[in-house]
Amino acid sequence: MPEKRTVLVTGGCGFIGTNLVRLLVGSGGYHVVNLDALTYAANPLSLVDLADHPRYEFVKGNITDRRLVPALFEKYQPAGVFHLAAETHVDRSIVSVDDFVQTNVIGTYSLLEAAHAYWSGLQGERRNKFLFLHVSTDEVFGSLGKEGYFSEETPYAPNSPYSASKAASDHFVRAYHQTYGLPTIITNCSNNYGPYQFPEKMIPLMILNALSGKPLPVYGDGANVRDWIYVKDYCKAIQRVFENGRAGEAYVVGAGNERRNIDLVRQICDFLDEIAPPAEIHPLRERGLKSYAELIQFVEDRPGHDHRYAIDAAKITRQLGWQAEVGFEAGLRLTIEWYLSNLEWVKQASSGSYGEWIEKNYAWRALKEKK
Ligand code: NAD
Ligand code: TYD
């Protein structure tokens, strides 16, 4: 257990942020100051139970705010930063790039400036131990063919506006280390799934669309491959890197769960057929739906759609002893059950469009009764 340290977490109301804040606060070793602009991707219900926690503070604000952010460093004197705030959805980045440049590039630069100014004024142990941990993505490496894995040695080759903006932010983080000596670490992780993920992302979208009898839109031929990691495993990796990682380095993180999109969607349907059978759901029963898989529809492909992501996590395992603990099938079941058990959260997150019906549906009531 580390000594109790105040840390600044950005984007703590998002998917990974919520899970990370819970881990850090729960560990007892951290006082967490969460700076979040509460964009569409944040859900006020996600951390509502921590509102009065003595080791948690929320600050609503934007990482691009050149007055607020330096003031937060002055006020809280953090031992480090976990930088997660970002625009994160590839499809949105294709429609409109601006927010991605503003938050991911300018926002990261603004945060680095404030961290650098603050760190420059620190002395001794506090200066030596300070760390700026930048949470990035494996998407900066572009797309793999059938063979091979991303590692810390893989050259950057981003293909979407999202991954380009994250790549730019990684380069600034690296440059602040190389040029000014700011202690920074970058983590490049594969696709996360689990509780609190906004319903526009693949796994929650498929779960919630299925339960509402909507089509399950699989892009292209469904042969694209993603390497999935349960979010709580990733949060443990982030904590491990913050506590024991080497400044100036990067760590790629993954759990070795490669799945083709179509196989994953079919697996979600199989689990849902078991956990919340369509025959028990009023509107789906009326439609004579036997399996959620009948809702699968192949749709037009995403432009610039990366074919395959896969991670070689040997370095973080060898150097820091981290390994994923949650198997993919177990994690997927936990995730499905979490969404079924958190209807208010879903409703809030999806402003009615995804969640309305779930509140009323029979499957959920049947599931609750079974438990
Ligand atoms: P998310 O979209 O769920 O949450 C992002 C959070 O950042 C939200 O709470 C939002 O309000 C906040 N935010 C956005 N712009 C902001 C700004 N300008 N100032 C302050 N706060 C702002 O994201 P996530 O999926 O939790 O991802 C977190 C980080 O992890 C991101 O940097 C992302 O690139 C990275 N990442 C995500 C995945 C994944 O599969 N989700 C995988 C690898 C890396
Ligand atoms: P996503 O969750 O958007 O993550 P990323 O694009 O960052 O990997 O998508 C995961 C995969 O699922 C990706 O290959 C695109 C695909 N996908 C679909 O086929 N249909 C969908 O509706 C969505 C949102 C994604």
Per the listing, tokens 């779930």 go with: 358
Atom from ligand 1 closest to the CA of residue 83? 32
Per the listing, tokens 């998407």 go with: 139
Name all domains of the chain by residue range, CATH numbers in brackets.
Answer: 5-197+226-257+303-327 (3.40.50.720)
How many C-beta atoms surround the C-beta of residue 147 within 10 A?
Answer: 7
Cβ(184)–Cβ(174) under 8 Å?
Answer: yes
The residue whose CB lies within 8 Å of the most ligand 1 atoms, and thus the one to mutate among 10, 64, 88, is 88
Query: 134: helix, coil or strand?
Result: strand
How many C-beta atoms surround the C-beta of residue 139 within 10 A?
Answer: 24
Integer CA distances (angstroms), 167 to 64, 96, 108, 172, 173, in order: 18, 17, 11, 9, 10
**Is the torsion defined by CA of 230, 243, 23, 27 positive or negative?**
positive
Ligand 2 binding residues, C-beta < 6 A = 90, 139, 191, 201-202, 205, 217-219, 224, 226, 261, 302
Of the candidates 139, 170, 227, 258, the residue annotated as catalytic is: 139
pLDDT of residue 221: 96
Give the total residue count for the chain: 371
Distance (Å, whole) CA 267 – CA 261: 10
**Is the torsion defined by CA of 58, 60, 64, 68 positive or negative?**
negative
Rounded to two decimals, the pTM is 0.95
Which two tokens mark 155? Answer: 């050259």
Per-residue pLDDT of the chain (371 residues; tens, 9 = 90+): 445 699 999 999 999 999 999 999 999 999 999 999 999 899 989 999 999 999 999 999 999 999 999 999 999 999 999 999 999 999 999 989 999 999 999 999 999 999 999 999 999 999 999 999 999 999 999 999 999 999 999 999 999 999 999 999 999 999 999 999 999 999 999 999 999 999 999 999 999 999 989 999 999 999 999 999 999 999 999 999 999 999 999 999 999 999 999 999 999 999 999 999 999 887 788 888 999 999 999 999 999 999 999 999 999 999 999 999 999 999 999 999 999 999 889 988 877 444 443 344 333 333 334 43
Residue 81 sits at φ, ψ, to 5 deg, of -125, 135
Cβ(324)–Cβ(256) under 8 Å?
Answer: yes
Distance (Å, whole) CA 314 – CA 320: 10
337 is catalytic: no
